[in-house]
Amino acid sequence: MIKFFLMVNKQGQTRLSRYYEHIEIKKRTMLEAEVIKNCLSRSKDQCSFIEYKDFKLVYRQYAALFVVIGIDHTENEMAVYELIHNFVEVLDKYFSRVIMFNLDRVHIILDEMVLNGCIVETNRNRILAPLLVLDKVAES
């Protein structure tokens, strides 16, 4: 099961966070700082899976953006690694360049892919269908 989903820039600033189990705000801040420090300090030659406390971290770097997912020990790391790539491909398909001004749309995409910590959809066309409907309604 996915515990949390983070998008972080190279400066260590969280751009998007989604938690799938309750964690207090102070603990979230501390957790994010530690997770970001662990992922950003690793070289590109190192593995993208990290054992951290009672869960695993799976991350991928895309230019200046890191996508980090915290999972429990029952989840398949490679499936989550591919989920990250699929998520970024969906973002790339929907947005031309700038995604940080459209965080509401990014949340919709993430919600279409992950529900309550479980991967529910990977088909790009089905993930983007609700957004395309919203865009048509907004145009009219």
How high is the pLDDT of residue 43? Answer: 87
**Taking each helix axis from N to C terminus, what angle separates 124-139 and 103-113, rounded to the nearest 10 degrees?**
140
pLDDT of residue 99: 61
Low-confidence ranges of the chain (pLDDT < 50): none
pLDDT of residue 95: 86
Phi, psi of 30 (to 5 degrees): -65, -45
Q: What is the pLDDT of residue 4?
A: 97
User: What count of Cα atoms within 13 Å lies in the side-chain half-sphere of residue 107?
Assistant: 9
The whole-number pLDDT of residue 84 equals 97
Domain spans of the chain, in order of start:
2-139
pTM of the full predicted structure?
0.91
Supply the pLDDT for residue 3: 96
- 91: closest CA among 116, 70, 67? 67
Q: What is the DSSP letter of 13?
A: -
Please state, in angstroms and rounded to a whole number, the distance separating the CA atoms of residues 138 and 123.
Answer: 24
**What is 2-139's CATH number?**
3.30.450.60
